[in-house]
A and B are shown apart, each in its own frame.
Chain A
Amino acid sequence: MFWLNVKRISRTGFVNFFRNGFVTLSAVLIMTITLFVLSTIVLSGALLKNTLSDIKDKVDVNVYFLPEASENAVLEVQKQIENLPEVDFVQYVSREQALEDFEFNYRNNEEILEALDELEENPLGAILNIKTKETSQYESVSIFLEQNYPVDLPESIVDNVNFNQNKEIIDKLTEIIDSGENLGTFITALFILISILITFNTIRLSMHISRNEIKVMRLVGASGSYISGPFIITGIMYGITASIITLVLLYPITYWIGPTTASFFGGLSVFEYYLKSFSEIFLIIFFSSILIGSISSFFAIKKYLREQRKG
């Protein structure tokens, strides 16, 4: 009997979805807008996170040695740093390589190259580029360097450690992305609430249209769940339809703005991301829509039946 009722309730919900065309259209439209906002937030969040991870990738701690520091001494420091558990790898740049890189970087700046030529010796020291496993670990590596190779001691071979400037950039970006995510969550929550309220009222409208049918159902002894079931099914169908429309619309839209996002967000095209993460986006949109549809219908029918009992 349970499955028989489920079958009948589903069938009635399905019929109501198509029968009340205008109500269906308005409910689907508002839910599509909400889901669209939700997907925009998901996609832009992914783009920002990708940008941050790109920037993080480019960040390292550079230890600049004095020109008089011997290669062996520098390699000894490299060995010690490599032994730290948080360090991913350490790249040694010799004095000669450092000069070559410097000349290459300033190849278009005549004044600097001329000044360099006037010097008899290579003025640059060796460099160690340190990469940690996590961005947050740069600080502890920096502290290790400060404690073991203080810059201000006369016998120090380290000229400079450049971590602090990068840290500020990372912190600032993380802060921007976090606030962006908070704002996104707030806007999504607001739209979901508005969507639930509008769907709630459209379902109430469809119940008003079906009031005679509801009266007859009560008259012949229908249970509360038998009366409310079809409306919840209809609400879920509004959600599923809206999610399909949103997912279909996202394809040409992301395709269209893909090249722009690729040049703006460090090579990541929103279209490629949409295709690559389709299953994840599908699940988010699909289940959010079902949730919005069923919650709105559930509360609408509950309120309607309570009012009917009082009336």
Chain B
Amino acid sequence: MIYFDKVSKIYEDGTNALLDIDLKIEPGEFVSVVGHSGAGKTTLLKLLLAEETPTQGSVYYESEDIHSLKSSQITSLRRKVGSIFQEYRLIPDKTVYENVAFAMEIAGREDEEIEADVPHALRLVGLERKMNSFPDDLSGGERQRVAIARAIVNQPDVLIADEPTGHLDPTNTYDIVQILRKINDLGTTVILTTHNKGVVDELQKRVITIENGKITRDDSGGLYSM
């Protein structure tokens, strides 16, 4: 379970990114976080990845306060929480296979495991035929699928997706959403931030709306509403 306990984040320049956030996310949930640019969605995810520290309050992952963890424990946390971003963040001089295998290498997996799991993850995102291609040879949708494969290959408990469809056309957006739904069906908690009304309405899952750093709506099975 993920739990934000009265969390506020005020940046050094005085920006109130999040104010007094109370939020619980149960294992296996699919949660969409919606809101305008600068509303605080990305900060919420960064707090969960321990990339930012809260100014007030605590963030818990399975009863552990994330921000009181040692750096080695944060490393283990990040292996349990896969993440994908709008700008893909792939390594350009590694092939599709190598980009995905890289995440497993870092987690200390054996070569045999890597050889078995990487093709499986790529099959799940429909890229088994592009294993030897480089990111520059792929479309935006395909790159995002590689990023998803990399995020899920270590079988994380939680998948964080920060605007993953931001650069994609409607067809690719639909495909990515279907993949995220499939991953969620397999038991992984998915936290998705998006501006895309169509995506949220299509999913018909829990929707959290953030405005000016505050949660203004929290509807299970809700629709996009601003």
Chain A positions near chain B (C-beta within 8 angstroms): 1, 4-5, 8, 19, 212-213, 215-224, 226
Tally inter-chain residue pairs, CB-CB below 8 A.
45
Cβ contact within 8 Å between A4 and B102: no
Q: A232 → chain B, closest Cβ, in Å? A: 17
How far does the alpha carbon of A231 sit from the alpha carbon of B76 in the complex, in Å? Answer: 22
Cβ contact within 8 Å between B106 and A212: no
Cβ contact within 8 Å between A221 and B107: yes
Q: A45 → chain B, closest Cβ, in Å? A: 46
CB nearest neighbor in B for A4:
B108
Known: A19-B93, A212-B89. A219 touches B78 (CB 8 A): yes
Residues of A contacting B72 in the complex (Cβ-Cβ under 8 angstroms)? 223
Q: B118 → chain A, closest Cβ, in Å? A: 13
Residues of A contacting B105 in the complex (Cβ-Cβ under 8 angstroms)? 8
Residues of A contacting B110 in the complex (Cβ-Cβ under 8 angstroms)? 4
Chain B positions near chain A (C-beta within 8 angstroms): 49, 71-72, 75-79, 82-83, 89-93, 102-103, 105-108, 110, 150-151, 154
How far does the alpha carbon of A164 sit from the alpha carbon of B222 in the complex, in Å? Answer: 106
Residues of B contacting A223 in the complex (Cβ-Cβ under 8 angstroms)? 72, 75
Q: B15 → chain A, closest Cβ, in Å? A: 16
> Which residue of B77, B79, B89 contacts A216 across the interface (Cβ within 8 Å)?
B89
CB nearest neighbor in A for B110:
A4
Q: B68 → chain A, closest Cβ, in Å? A: 16
Cβ contact within 8 Å between A226 and B106: yes
Interface residue SS majority, chain A: helix
What are 21 A-B pairs with beta-carbon distances under 8 A? A1-B108, A5-B108, A212-B89, A213-B91, A215-B89, A216-B90, A216-B91, A219-B49, A219-B78, A219-B83, A220-B78, A220-B79, A220-B106, A220-B151, A220-B154, A221-B75, A221-B76, A221-B78, A221-B79, A221-B107, A221-B154
Q: B85 → chain A, closest Cβ, in Å? A: 8
How far does the alpha carbon of A86 sit from the alpha carbon of B129 in the complex, in Å? Answer: 87
Residues of B contacting A220 in the complex (Cβ-Cβ under 8 angstroms)? 78-79, 82, 102-103, 106-107, 150-151, 154
Known: A221-B78, A221-B79, A223-B72. A212 touches B108 (CB 8 A): no
Known: A220-B103, A222-B106. A212 touches B78 (CB 8 A): no
Residues of B contacting A212 in the complex (Cβ-Cβ under 8 angstroms)? 89, 91-92
How far does the alpha carbon of A226 sit from the alpha carbon of B107 in the complex, in Å? Answer: 10
Known: A212-B91, A222-B75. A217 touches B106 (CB 8 A): yes
How far does the alpha carbon of A75 sit from the alpha carbon of B45 in the complex, in Å? Answer: 101
How far does the alpha carbon of A213 sit from the alpha carbon of B90 in the complex, in Å? Answer: 8
CB nearest neighbor in A for B109:
A4
Residues of A contacting B107 in the complex (Cβ-Cβ under 8 angstroms)? 220-221
CB nearest neighbor in A for B78:
A221
Most buried by B among A216, A218, A219: A219
Residues of B contacting A224 in the complex (Cβ-Cβ under 8 angstroms)? 71
Q: B220 → chain A, closest Cβ, in Å? A: 30
Residues of A contacting B106 in the complex (Cβ-Cβ under 8 angstroms)? 217, 220-222, 226
Nearest 7 pairs of A and B residues by beta carbon = A221-B78, A221-B79, A220-B103, A222-B106, A1-B108, A223-B75, A221-B75
